[in-house]
Amino acid sequence: MRNWAEGVFALVVIVGLGAALFMFSGETLGEGTTDATAPMTVDPDAAVRGEIIAGSTGCLACHTTDGAPGSGPTWRGVAGSSRPLQSGEVVIADDVYLTNSILDPGSQVVVGFDNIMPPDFADSLTEGEVGDLVEYIKSLTG
């Protein structure tokens, strides 16, 4: 640099670029989604069908929908939340996790619960019925 003015100018440019990248990065500050939750969209018609399926297949014998403890994790507020697993892994309860929990329940058991869910839902439910159950679970916000 030839003089202090060029140094100051370079510093202003660098700080300005840094501020612009920070402001326009798409990241939110303060309020908004946290690491513990992810935004979910729900198909209300599928959720209604899922509620009927949950009642007719015995899901509600172990899973509650009001946040109360049960022999299985409550479905209230589970969608989009962090789920600590017995394997030590922590996952977000998105559509993939919820579907997998129905079709292969022993593969991702939540901490504090035993692997007691029947493993045969992959054989007894159609893909559409599983999707409807997932939509119902997602509709049960905290």
With b for 16 or more beta-carbon neighbours within 10 A and e for fewer, the 95-114 pattern comes to: eebbeebbbebeebbbeeee
The reported pLDDT for the residue numbered 66 is: 94
- One-letter amino acid at 23 equals M
Residue 39 in domain: no
Give residue-wise pLDDT tens across range 19-76. Answer: 555 555 544 433 333 344 556 789 999 999 999 999 999 999 999 999 998 999 999 9
pTM here?
0.72
Q: How many domains does the chain have?
A: 2
19 and 60 both lie in a single domain: no
Q: Which residue has the tokens 């994790």?
A: 73
The reported pLDDT for the residue numbered 31 is: 39
Inter-residue contact 62 to 70 (CB < 8 Å): yes
The reported pLDDT for the residue numbered 69 is: 85
107 and 53 both lie in a single domain: yes
100: domain CATH number? 1.10.760.10
Paired tokens of 80: 């989009």
Mean pLDDT over all residues of the chain? 83
- Boundaries of domain holding 118: 44-139
